[in-house]
Structure 1
Amino acid sequence: MIGNGMAGIRCLDALLERAPGRFDVTVFSAEERTNYDRIQLSGVLLGEKGWDDVVLNDDAWYAERGITLHLGAKVARIDRERRVVVSENGIEAPYDKVLYATGSRAFVLPVPGRDLDGVYVFRTYEDCDAMIERAKTATRAAVIGGGLLGLEAARGLAAHGLEVTVVHLVSTLMERQLDAAGGEYLRRAIEQQGVHVALGKKTEEILADEDGRVRGLRFADGSTLDAEIVVMAAGIVPNAELAKSAGIECRRGVIVDDFLRTSDPDVYAVGECVEHRGLCYGLVAPLYEMGRVAAAHLAGETTAAYEGSVVSTKLKVSGVDVFSAGDPFGDGACEILRAEDSSAGVYKKVLFRDGKAVGAVLVGDATLSGSLDALVKGGTAVEGPRAAILFPELASAGGASASPDAAVAALPESATICACNGVAKGAVLCAIREQGLTTRKEVAACTNASRSCGGCGPQVESLLRLVHGDSVTAKPTKKTLCDCTSLSREEVIAAIHEQHLTSVRETMSVLGWAGDGCATCRPAINYYLTVAWPGENEDDPRSRFVNERVHANIQRDGTYSVVPRMYGGVTTPDELMRIAQVAKRFHVPTVKVTGGQRIDLLGVKKEDLPAVWKALDMPSGFAYAKGVRTVKTCVGSTWCRFGTRDSMGFGIRVERTFENLWTPAKVKMAVNACPRNCAESLVKDVGLIAGETEWEIYVGGNGGIKVRTAELLAKVESDDEAMDLIAAFLQHYREDATYGERTAHWVERVGIEAIRKAVVDDLENRAALVDRMEEALEARVEPWRERVTKLESGDEEMEREFAPLRLKLKVVA
């Protein structure tokens, strides 16, 4: 076998199972390593996986099967007359049959500067090592290519603190799998993670500095982009040259028939080097399908022909769920069913032609991928209300959409469940039945299904229910933290406490996470660690969205807003003068008074943020965070003739006490000095209203999309007791709510009586909650001051974070 990659070894393994002892096998590998999982290279680049995490077949695997393995032995020629394969280092091996599995290589743009120091491709383990080493001294990176590999490379480099820009030739990311709208949803999600996206940019030159190293890119429109690292991820090229030099028919790839034979019947080919019926495939599932057919034919079995693959893609792209099946674009004859939730970043689309589903796209939520895959591949007419396809709860018996379990049950056993590892439905069912598997984790360990990106987890769980029936479905339904794990939020938090886990990476490793985590689980784990071990946890910037990482709100044009804290909405002439001076000095285009009684500076460049913070000399308003934001106040008894208490003074005390506190979602508070409620306490997460002699404390209000009136928690007379109840309520919310859950939803879900019992009535529990809150408050830092101090001390990580992204436009007359 020529090549030692995933497709070739999978084919070889199937052959040895079918015909043990029939062949003496020799494997030539151009790489110095045994077979490994290239799908996991994104985790290697992130710095979260090492060799032991990605190796698929170690030295012992080859030895146990009697395979002669030559590592670092690139084949120079196939001598068809002598029937020998000859490597560049002089090794010869005679053959009866050749399995040609050389894979592909990255397409390198034929532009000046492509050979400069600092230009990389993203194909091998060594490529990852090289980029990680270079990232230690670089500040900016450009990734050429907006497909899956390019986006994963961008995510990995951003995790090392680099300012990363994805440069893509066309106007849509992943344009082969996604329509324009789906690509736009993906772009927004990628940019939320702090990665810049430059669409419609044609790279004409890679620029060099005086030392011959990369310094940036020049585009066809005359603009330039600064970068010390450039990654080529603009496609792949089949490695067909060796076959062509041996006289084997090739076009773009090595031409094969339906049994994977080349023009030489003694030479078979599988994988990304192959061209079958005019198509070359780059996804794992089709390559594994080729391997099964080739193995059966080599073993002398009568086997069905390989007729090509109906490709569907279900992936996590930089942590974002993406699914595409069939034709995602359609034509004028197509009818379209589409659903969008822009606030949640979710896009769903199904295309119909002649009453049949012919294509589907999902971005941000791929839970319907199994049923949509079945619809598209099934090719049968859709009956009943089509809306039920995207909203299964609308379906009735015999309607258009079956349950996810029924959709998976309808798939043939040859259907691929796990595209990452090429695991078919039949293989999963066989393992569940024969091995007695009852959990997704057990299935992953036995079959590899859901082991990589975790996206097929729901389908695996459907198969478990189909096999075990009532013995599984009778169990209480458990909502997992996300598709990357079979554990619930409660189980993850319990493990964090019981095993004293203090970092995201440690938590995912110990708890057997599938893949590298996603935009759902990583921020949640980071938050749960913060609550469990205040001051001891390792905060992971890579597990925060860009707003919390940079401590400013990113705007639609890539600039940021800066909102300094004004305690209780009270300010001074000196503060106002500083704000005005900063706005003029940094040419801030918009200065706006916010609804939270603060001032927002809109349009600040990222590289200017530290200087703006220093010049303001005011604390962060936390306006970007899942945390305590504002305490709105009325003027109270200090000025108002109706006020019965000092609402400004108490509001300032509350805000100074709880500022910069991380919570499951944003928290807004208000203090009113009388029932006229000028500061709107009844639509705040925590609101106080003064009576003649007491404070009324209300919780769980919301003035947003779904307005909810806050509910009365308690009435107390003293300021100190009110502070204790606020602390106990916030700590109970911090510990009990789901990450991302506002108090309005939490109070409605848990019930005010249960919360009142835990916070007000149970004095011992209240005291314990207050004690834990005090521990959390002691661990806080003022984020703007901390970052300014680190920059002034020469902290390299901070310097990389706030290094300017230079995009210059050269106007040619």
Structure 2
Amino acid sequence: MTGRLLVVGAGQAGLQTAATVRTLGWEGPITLAGAESYAPYNRPPLSKAFLRGTADVASLALRSAAFYTDHAIDLVLGESIEDLGPTGEGAGTATTASGRRLPYDRLVLATGAEPRRLPIPGADLKGVVTLRAIEDADVLAGRLSAVDGLVVVGGGLIGLEVAATAVAAGLRTTVVEAAPWLMNRVVSTTTAAYIEAAHRAAGVDILQQARPCRFHGDDRGAVTAVELEDGTRIPAGLVLVAVGARPRDELARAAGLECDRGIVVDSCALASDGRTVAVGDCAHLPDPSPLGDPKTRVRLESVDNAVEQAGVAAATLLGEPQPYRGVPWFWSDQGELKLQIAGLARPEDGVVVRPGRRSGQHTVLRYRHGRLVAGECVNNPADFLMLRKALSGGTHLPAETAADTGIPLKQHLAAAATLDRAG
């Protein structure tokens, strides 16, 4: 391929697509454009190591400066693209906010997602922050050391990671979650309860089924408290709003591409025009799980998805489309807890609990219609790796067999795989 390729979005998915397509044989110019002034960097440490001061901007870089030169990838940073200027057949000329024009023959949208905000009074007070980019983490880190109380609104992965970091630094920390359990869209109630107990033991105060209705501030416009719907006021010198993210699909909508909770793509990462490719957090794609229903669409915010879908996108761009199939996986480091999830579970899926063989370990297997569809592991990387392999291979491990905790999971899975091969 010798055409001009423009990748909009210089995050993990955008970089991975540009790098992969070049490695696989794209010979034409590649431009990787991002609104941030930083070269593509690793976001997960922002809520942990970066806040602790054990990681800096340089250590977050996904590639060295030489990488872009060596692979002839032109980085355009600090430039927000305002218009894609499509002319048909996947080509066009994008225009940045500064008026710079970027012509392309093929387009990749890797525009990511942005934190959701709360439309309540006081949301614009100083000290009410979100976390997505390095600039956000800089602000959060600076304020963490200057206040005596943090309220985290949202008991999801990012919120709990920041809460664990803050309480370990000695900061009074409260998590406010609207749902009945933490990480309600991610893990089972069993795993949520296990992790909740660990956070409480570490000193985090957790309020569930609680919703903020107002942020209060002082005469300098700085936040001082969070008021809940029941009238409770929680003192706060800093508030992190971590209530999920919305896909950045504005450019795609303006260009006439189909969007529904993200940019709608097929299993080969193609958008509705049949030419534009969309990858990463902004893409709404068919469930890639081996036992998933292709008619079910998901939006996956993870490093794993950014890397795997980028490979699919690169193959599509080179005219060798290969449907995206794989086992999505996620991880979250929350203080002393390392949560690893393989597969996509639903709230109604069955649960088989396997207590860890060592203190602090916890594994839950999730079942749907009698089939193993996911696993949740806390401080148990061995179980996680085995479950990923089993899910990838479609190993059939009956729930009643898995419930026998007297036999190691490894042994159960090996026997199940043998039966599958024999049958």
The two structures have a TM-score, normalised by structure 2, of 0.86
2:312–2:321 Cα contact (<8 Å) kept: yes
Any conservation in 2 of the 1:185–1:345 contact (CA below 8 Å)? Answer: no
In structure 2, the partner of 1:32 is 37
Superposed CA deviations along residues 214-235 of structure 1, whole A, max 9, x for unmatched, are 1111111111111011111110
Cross-structure match for 1:292 = 311
User: Does the 8 Å contact 2:165/2:334 carry over to 1?
Assistant: no
2:247 to 238, 246, 254: 238
User: Paired residue for 1:15?
Assistant: 21
Which of 127, 143, 158 pairs up with 2:152? 143
* Pair 1:305 & 2:323 matched: yes
Counterpart among 318, 324, 327 of residue 335 in structure 2: 318
Pick from 51, 60, 70: which aligns with 1:64?
70
Report the AA paired with residue 178 of structure 1.
V
| Cα gap change, 1:359 to 1:63, in 2 (>3 Å) | closer
SS of residue paired to 1:37: coil
Q: What is the alpha-carbon distance in structure 2 between the residues aligned to residue 273 and residue 330 of structure 1? A: 24
Distance 1:227 1:194 in 2: 16
How far off is 1:76 after superposition? 0.8
1:73 aligns with 2:73: no
Would the alpha carbon gap of residues 321 and 392 (structure 1) be closer, same or farther in structure 2, given more than 3 Å must change? Answer: farther
Matches of residues 587-666 of structure 1 in structure 2 within 5 Å? none
Tell me the secondary structure at the aligned position of residue 414 of structure 2.
coil
SS of 2:8's equivalent in the other structure is coil
Residue 273 of structure 1: how far off its partner (Å): 0.8
1:356 and 1:48, CA in 2 relative to 1: closer, same or farther beyond 3 A? same
Structure 2 equivalent of residue 99 of structure 1: 108
Counterpart Cα distance in 2 of 1:112 and 1:305: 46
Q: What does residue 53 of structure 2 align with?
A: 47
Q: Distance in 2 between matches of 1:182 and 1:393?
A: 19
- CA offsets 1:452-502 (integer angstroms, 9 cap, x no match): xxxxxxxxxxxxxxxxxxxxxxxxxxxxxxxxxxxxxxxxxxxxxxxxxxx
Distance 1:180-1:92 versus aligned 2 partners, 3 A rule: same
Q: CA deviation at 1:112?
A: 1.5
How far the C-alpha of 1:354 sits from its partner, in A, is 5.7
Is 1:349 equivalent to 2:358 in the alignment?
Answer: no
Does the CA contact (< 8 Å) of 1:96 and 1:266 recur in 2?
A: no
- Shift of residue 53 of structure 1? 1.5
Counterpart CA distance in 2 for 1:330 and 1:207 is 35
Name the structure where helix makes up a greater proportion of residues: 1
Quote the residue 1:253 is aligned against. 262
| Partners of 1:341 and 1:384 in 2: CA distance | 17
**1:373-772 alignment runs, 5 A limit:** 373-382=388-397, 386-387=401-402, 390-393=405-408, 400-402=412-414
Matched AA of 1:321: K
Amino acid in structure 2 at the alignment position of 1:50: D
Instruction: Letter of the 1:17 partner, please give it.
Output: T
User: CA-atom RMSD, angstroms?
Assistant: 2.9
User: Percent identity over the alignment?
Assistant: 29
Indicate the SS of the match to 1:313.
Answer: strand
CA distance in 2, matches of 1:386, 1:242: 50
The one-letter amino acid paired with 1:320 is L
Q: 1:281 Cα shift?
A: 1.0
Question: Is 2:122 aligned against 1:113?
Answer: yes
Specify whether residues 141 and 292 from structure 1 end up closer, same or farther in structure 2 by C-alpha distance, changes over 3 A only: same
Task: Say which SS state the counterpart of residue 83 (structure 1) adopts.
Answer: strand
Q: Match of 1:363, as an amino acid?
A: V
Aligned to 1:426: none
Determine helix, strand or coil for the equivalent of 1:133: helix
Contact 1:172 1:183 in 2 (8 A): yes
Q: In structure 2, the residue corresponding to 1:110 is in which secondary structure? A: coil
Q: Is the 8 A contact 1:312 1:326 kept in 2?
A: yes
CA distance in 2, matches of 1:330, 1:13: 37
Shift in CA distance, 148/331, structure 1 to aligned 2, threshold 3 Å: closer
Question: 2:18, 2:73 within 8 Å by CA — same for their partners in 1?
Answer: no
After superposition, where does 1:201-220 map in structure 2 within 5 Å? Answer: 201-220=210-229
For 1:254 and 1:234, locate their aligned partners in 2 and report how far apart those are by CA, in whole Å.
21
Residue 591 of structure 1 corresponds to which residue in structure 2? Answer: none
Aligned residue number for residue 263 of structure 1: 272
Using the alignment, how far apart are the partners of 1:394 and 1:10 within structure 2?
34
**8 Å contact from structure 1 (residues 145, 167) kept in 2:** yes
> Relative to structure 1, is the Cα distance of residues 259 and 134 closer, same or farther in structure 2, using a 3 angstrom cutoff?
same
In structure 2, distance between residues paired with 1:198 and 1:219: 10
Deviation at 1:314, TM superposition (A): 4.0
Q: d(CA) in 2 for partners of 1:275 and 1:372?
A: 25
Give the unaligned 5+ runs of structure 1. 411-813
Work out which structure has the larger RCO, using CA pairs closer than 8 Å and 6 or more positions apart in sequence.
2
Q: Give 1:236 deviation, angstroms.
A: 0.7
- Asked whether 1:282 is paired with 2:301, we answer yes
- The AA in structure 2 aligned to 1:173 is L
What residue identity is the alignment partner of 1:323?
Answer: Q
CA contact (8 A) 2:18 2:32 kept: no
- CA change 1:187–1:287 in 2 (3 A) is same
Match of 1:514 in 2: none
Gaps of 5+ in 2: 1-6, 287-296
Residues in 2 aligned to 1:262 and 1:50: alpha-carbon distance in whole angstroms: 36
Is the contact between residue 320 and residue 363 of structure 1 (CA under 8 Å) also seen in structure 2?
yes
Structure 1 residues 564-612: Cα deviation after superposition (integer angstroms, max 9, x where no partner): xxxxxxxxxxxxxxxxxxxxxxxxxxxxxxxxxxxxxxxxxxxxxxxxx
Q: Which has the larger radius of gyration?
A: 1
1: CA distance, partners of 2:15 / 2:92: 22
Cα distance in 1 for partners of 2:77, 2:146 equals 32
Which deviations, in whole Å up to 9, do the C-alpha atoms of 1:601-649 show, x marking residues without a partner?
xxxxxxxxxxxxxxxxxxxxxxxxxxxxxxxxxxxxxxxxxxxxxxxxx
Show the counterpart of 1:153. 162
1:132 aligns with one of 141, 165, 174: 141
Counterpart-to-counterpart distance in 2, 1:73 and 1:60? 21
Structure 2 letter corresponding to 1:253: G
The yes-or-no answer on 1:372 pairing with 2:384 is: no
Provide the C-alpha distance between the structure 2 equivalents of 1:384 and 1:196, rounded to a whole number of angstroms: 35
Distance of aligned partners of 1:352 and 1:127 in 2 relative to their CA distance in 1, 3 Å threshold: closer
CA distance in 2 between counterparts of 1:56 and 1:106 reads: 22
1:161 CA displacement:
3.3
Instruction: Compare the two structures and name the one with the higher strand fraction.
Output: 2
Query: May I ask how many residue pairs the two structures share in their alignment?
Result: 399
| Closer, same or farther: CA 374–116 of 1 in aligned 2, 3 Å | same
Could you report, residue by residue, the CA deviation over 1:300-349 in whole angstroms, capped at 9, with x for unpaired residues?
A: 3x232125x543334433331223344656759x5x53344799444333
Other-structure match for 1:194: 203
* Higher mean C-alpha displacement, 71-80 vs 372-381: 372-381
Distance 1:283 1:374, change over 3 A: same
Measured after TM superposition, the shift of residue 154 of structure 1 is 1.5
Contact 1:4 1:28 in 2 (8 A): yes
Residue 358 (structure 1) aligned with residue 364 (structure 2): no
Indicate if the aligned counterparts of 2:344 and 2:373 stay in contact, CA closer than 8 A. yes
